[in-house]
Copies of this chain bind each other. A is one copy, B any other.
Amino acid sequence: MSSNKTIIANGRFLVPGSLQPVLSGYMTIEDDLITYIGEDKPAAEEGALTVDGSRLLFMPGLVNTHGHAAMSLLRGYGDDMVLQSWLQEKMWPMEAKFTGDDVYWGSALSVLEMLKGGTTTFLDMYDHMDRVAEVTEQSGIRAVLMRGAIGLCPEDVQNQKLAEAVEFARNWHGKADGRITAMLSPHAPYTCPPDFFVKFVQAAHDLDLPMHTHMSETRHEVEQNVADYGLRPVAHLEKLGMFTRPSMIAHGVHLNDEEIEILAKYNVGVSHNPGSNLKLASGVARVPDLLRAGVKVSLGTDGAASNNNLDMFEEMRLAALIHKGVSGDPTAVPAPEALLMATEYGAASIYLSNVGRLAAGMKADFIAIDIDQPHLLPHSDLLSHAVYSASAKDVEHVWVNGKQVVKHGQCLTLDEEEVRRKAQETFESLLTR
Measured CB to CB, the residues of A under 8 A from B are 72-77, 79-83, 86, 109-110, 112-113, 116-117, 275, 277-284, 304, 307-311, 314, 317-318, 320-322, 324-332, 334-335, 372-375, 377-382, 384-385, 388-389, 391-394, 416, 419-420, 423-424, 426-428
A selection of 19 A-B contacts at a CB cut-off of 8 Å is: A72-B374, A72-B377, A74-B380, A75-B385, A76-B380, A77-B380, A79-B334, A80-B335, A83-B330, A110-B374, A112-B374, A278-B322, A279-B325, A281-B329, A307-B388, A309-B389, A311-B375, A314-B317, A379-B424
Q: State in angstroms the CA–CA spacing of A70 and B281 once bound together.
A: 36
Sample of 14 further A-B pairs with CB below 8 A, known A374-B420, A377-B427: A72-B374, A79-B334, A275-B321, A281-B328, A281-B329, A283-B328, A284-B325, A284-B326, A309-B375, A309-B389, A311-B375, A311-B391, A374-B423, A378-B423
Q: A402 to nearest B CB, angstroms?
A: 24
B76 touches A381 (CB 8 A): yes
Q: A321 to nearest B CB, angstroms?
A: 4
A310 touches B375 (CB 8 A): yes
B330 touches A80 (CB 8 A): yes
Q: Which of A278, A322, A329, A378 has the most CB of B within 10 A?
A: A378
Q: State in angstroms the CA–CA spacing of A371 and B55 once bound together.
A: 28
With CB as the reference atom, state the residue of chain B lying closest to A430: B378
Contacts A308-B388, A372-B420, A391-B311; is A378 near B327 (CB within 8 Å)?
no
Q: State in angstroms the CA–CA spacing of A308 and B311 once bound together.
A: 17
